[in-house]
Amino acid sequence: MATNPEKYKRVAYYPGCALEGTGHAYNRSTKVVGKALGLDLVEVKNWNCCGAMEVKNIDPKIQTYLSSRVMSIAANEMGMDTVMAPCNGCYHNLKKAEYDLAHDPKSGEVVERLSGKAGHEAYKAGQVETIHALDWIKESIGEEGLRQRVQNSLAGLKVANYYGCMYTRPRHIFPEKDQGEGSESTSKPHFMDDLLAAAGAENVEFPLKTACCGGAHTLSDSDTSTKLVLNILTAAEAAGAEVIATECPTCHSGLEMHQIRAEKRFGKATSVKIVYFTQLLGLALGLSPRQVGLQENVSDSIGFFRAKGLA
Amino acid sequence: MPIHEQSLIRPENLKTHDELVMDGVDVSGHWSTFIESRVVSDYNEALQDEIAALPGGEYIHRCWQCGSCTNSCTVNAINPDFNPRYWIYLARMGMESELLRDKDIIWQCVSCNKCTYACPRDVVPEGVMKAMSHWLELKGHTPKSPSMHFDEVFSEQVIARGKIEESRTMQRFFKRTGQPMFQDWFIEMVKRMLRHLPVGMLTRMGLASLLAPRTAGWARARDAIREYAEEQHSKQRQALGLGELIENAKQDAGAPARS
């Protein structure tokens, strides 16, 4: 059910660096799905990197400042009250900055000081609400709304929904989750399952929804990442999935890269396709493979979707 | 996943004698296995404070050793020697030499935050792992880990320009860690990427790597962040007594110490 059809109809869009690079297909498919659903995305002006998974290891408060600047621009320069970030990393960091600014006076001091020197208004906790692309569609369109708009049902498509780490952990930065009926769960997230089921897909019982792909060390400790990804790929296949649906550019490109690396380095080949959940929704809404950017994925799924009659 | 512990008796501490006669009784072979006495005399009483002085390590003192972190750990599942609970114990006890036995794997924490999720005491073990790896590097116990190199390459670019351009970050990381970029899996990945990519996308990616995206008017933010980072850095060095160490070393070497 769409609980708040008007609330997220027009939101500030924070794509982040990855969506302008390796995650471009996610950027493209998020935008076309939004358009097809009649939702408005207004890109955050002159945004900067949120700090990703790296800057916090240099200094966590620099990361808090970087994320706060994005929210400050949305609130103070654009007058928006909601920031939608499809990337789990961006989403997580904005949520983390929000939490720290609401609870830790020292973080506030650093943000005030850096914002002042950088020449923009400092972000104050509570000025915007940060949401994920999943919240955005789930809240404003909902399963029923989606069901009515499906032109090309995903019926018969077996999907493993993969949420990764940053969408649910640590729990305290997501105060709206685990609030019972209708809210997202941090231990067994289901928003992607709900949306894809509404689009007709058959979600398999997938035990590694929130397992880690080793994204933080994808290049610096590649063997560990390959082992972690291989666990995810083989578990998805064992559960009967033909497709893994992703919601994060780091997870997505990590799964793609290490699927190849597992084959090259460990001789372990897997054939499960890796696709952004927005690409699947786009296909269900009658968009073409090119419109949702399937050709931009490393994991080649175009032939597969053609054979399924979905492309 | 059960909590896997290192055996308290290490193989090198077990002494077996082939021929041993005690008070006229032959106890060689199986019955002559003795354990070397273990005396810990090199406590670093400041160890917990030093780790707590680094970002992420602040809450190490809260730990009551339940083991939820190790039990939920992603890396522990593929390498049982990776044991956050044990390392937190050692740091709190000041058992530095014992902690140093695992110095080469502590940086491998993937920051999945399963430990932080599971911890009933809000220790934030993920942060503690980062603080420990940082401590090891600052104290000179380990060279910079590949992960630290990546964090630095990435953060330098974000701080300098406001944004990241991935291929540039990758190139610099491979260069700094002395690895070839064109490894077999990488070539295969590029091949697969090129299979369906239209010319427009290739042009866009090429342009991005040439022009490197940046946030407009970023110079003031850049300078403010650099100034702050430098301040934090010197605070950390002070907390670890590194300034003093360097001064002492200079004096020992007969070099004039800077005031």
- The answer on pLDDT for B256 being more than 60 is no
- Which residues of chain B does A60 touch, with a Cβ-Cβ cutoff of 8 Å? 55-56, 127
ipTM: 0.93
Determine the Cα–Cα distance for residues A30 and B103; give it in Å rounded to an integer: 43
Please give the residue of chain B at the shortest CA–CA distance from A28: B201
Residue B2 reports pLDDT greater than 60: no
pLDDT, residue A247, reads: 98
pLDDT band at A191 (very low <50, low <70, confident <90, very high): very high
Tokens of B134: 């940082």
Sort strands B14-16 and A129-132 into parallel, antiparallel or unpaired: unpaired
DSSP string of B116-154, one letter each residue: HHH-TT---HHHHHHHHHHHHHHTTSSPPPHHHHHHHHH
Which 8-state DSSP code applies to residue B82?
Answer: -
Which range, of A56-70, A242-256, B43-57, B163-177, averages the lowest pLDDT? B163-177
| Alpha-helical runs (H) found in A11-104 | 24-36, 55-58, 60-72, 88-103
Residue B94 has pLDDT above 50, yes or no: yes
CA distance A204 to chain B (A): 23
CA angle, corner A27, sides to A228 and A17, nearest 5? Answer: 70
- The per-residue pLDDT for range A143-173, each reduced to its tens digit, is 999 999 999 999 999 999 999 999 999 999 9
Q: How confident is the model at residue A254 (pLDDT cuts 50, 70, 90)?
A: very high
A298 and B162 within 8 Å at the Cβ level: the answer is no
A221 and B148 in contact by Cβ < 8 A?
Answer: no
A296/B75 CB distance under 8 A: no
Q: Which of B113, B119, B126, B159 to mutate to test the interface with A (most CBs of A within 10 A)?
A: B113
Which pairing describes strands B14-16 and A273-276: parallel, antiparallel, or unpaired? unpaired
Cα A31–Cα A33–Cα A34 angle in degrees, nearest 5: 65
Indicate the pTM of the whole model: 0.91
Q: From the list B56, B185, B229, which residue is nearest A62 (CB)?
A: B229
How close does chain A come to B256, measured CA to CA in Å? 31
Q: Do B116 and A170 touch (CB under 8 A)?
A: yes
Examine the pLDDT at B231 and tell me if it is beyond 90: yes
Residue A246, beta-bridge partner list: A276
Mean pLDDT of chain A: 96
SS3 letters across A178-246: CCCCCCCCCCCCCHHHHHHHHCCCEECCCCCCCCCCCHHHCCCCHHHHHHHHHHHHHHHHHCCCCEEEE
pLDDT at B31: 67
Q: Per the structure block, which two tokens stand in for A68?
A: 């706060």
Which residue, among B156, B184, B191, B225, would best test binding to A if mutated, counting the most A CBs under 10 Å from its CB? B225
DSSP B8: S
Phi-psi region of B58 (alpha: psi -120 to 50; beta: other; left: phi over 0): alpha
**How many Å lie between the alpha carbon of A147 and the closest alpha carbon of chain B?**
31
Average pLDDT, chain B: 86
- Cα gap B184→B56, rounded to integer Å: 37
Nearest C-alpha in A relative to B76? A224
- The count of CB pairs under 8 A between chains A and B is 183
Tell me if A69 and B221 make a contact (CB, 8 A cut-off). Answer: yes
How many residues would you count in chain A?
311
